[in-house]
Amino acid sequence: MSFLEKMKTRYTVKKYNPQGHISEEKINELKEILNLSPSSINSQPWNFIFVNNNSKVKDQLAEASYWNKEKIVQSSHLIVFQSLKNSEDFEKQIEGVLPEGSVNYYKNFIKPKGEDGIRSWLKHQVYLSLGVFLSACADMGIDSTPMEGIEPERYDDILKNEKYETLFAVAIGERDEADTNQPKFNPKTRLKTGKVIVEA
């Protein structure tokens, strides 16, 4: 099946098969793929926390996830996407690591925006990795559910990853065959290609 066909059939899972488990081999592959995600000036201001089904932490995070609780409990893994909290830690990370031109870009174009502007820019980089991750899952036949419907502050309290803040999470696993959000039950709808793809 071509990648295009896989994207036509991928969807946001609403109900997982609790017996479905993603192999360690595939999880390791996803970790490597996330590590290869693109970011502006190769900034990489992120952490990706993989929480497996045997972890008590997964149940704690589920309790901090509103209507997404059941999905998380039933999924194979939960991946939490986090961004560096402040510019000082980011500047320490890139100094002496990134090329001078990249550091100068940050200092001349991003840093003048102030702490709020910097944090916004850092968060945007993490969202780039989400697209890579969901595409990789589709290509590997792994079902997924991206979620902003969580309580980020409670996630941070549970995970205790001091320099980072939670932005969103993705549950992965194997769909329940009765999941009514599947395209065969609930056909995928998108705006017409001509409406969103514009040639200049």
**What digits encode the pLDDT tens for the residues 53-112?**
888 999 999 999 999 999 999 999 999 999 999 999 999 999 999 999 999 999 999 999
Residue 125: per-residue pLDDT = 98
DSSP per residue over the chain, as a string?
A: --HHHHHHH--B-SSB-TT----HHHHHHHHHHHHT---GGG---EEEEEEETT-HHHHHHHHTSGGGHHHHHHSSEEEEEEEE--HHHHHHHHTTTS-HHHHHHIIIIIGGGHHHHHHHHHHHHHHHHHHHHHHHHHHHT-EEEEE--S-HHHHHHHH--TTEEEEEEEEEE-B-TT-TTSTTTS------HHHH----
User: Where does the pLDDT of residue 149 fall: very low under 50, low under 70, confident under 90, or very high at 90 and above?
Assistant: very high
Q: What is the CATH number of the domain that holds 152?
A: 3.40.109.10
Is the separation of the CB atoms in 142 and 78 below 8 Å? no
| Tokens matching residue 92 | 């320490």
Residue 47: per-residue pLDDT = 98
What domain range is 182 assigned to?
3-196
Neighbouring-strand partners of residue 12: 144
Distance between CA atoms of residues 141 and 126, nearest Å? 23
- Give the CB-side neighbour count of residue 15, counting CA atoms within 13 A: 7
Is the separation of the CB atoms in 153 and 165 below 8 Å? no
Best CA proximity match to 125, nearest among 110, 136, 140, 113 = 110
Is the separation of the CB atoms in 80 and 178 below 8 Å? no
Residue 46: per-residue pLDDT = 98
Q: Could you give the number of structural domains in the chain?
A: 1
Residue 53: per-residue pLDDT = 83
Best CA proximity match to 139, nearest among 165, 108, 172, 115 = 172
Residue 83 CA to chain centroid, in angstroms? 11
| Tokens matching residue 150 | 């969580």
Scan for tokens 């102030």, then name that residue: 114
181 pLDDT exceeds 90?
Answer: yes
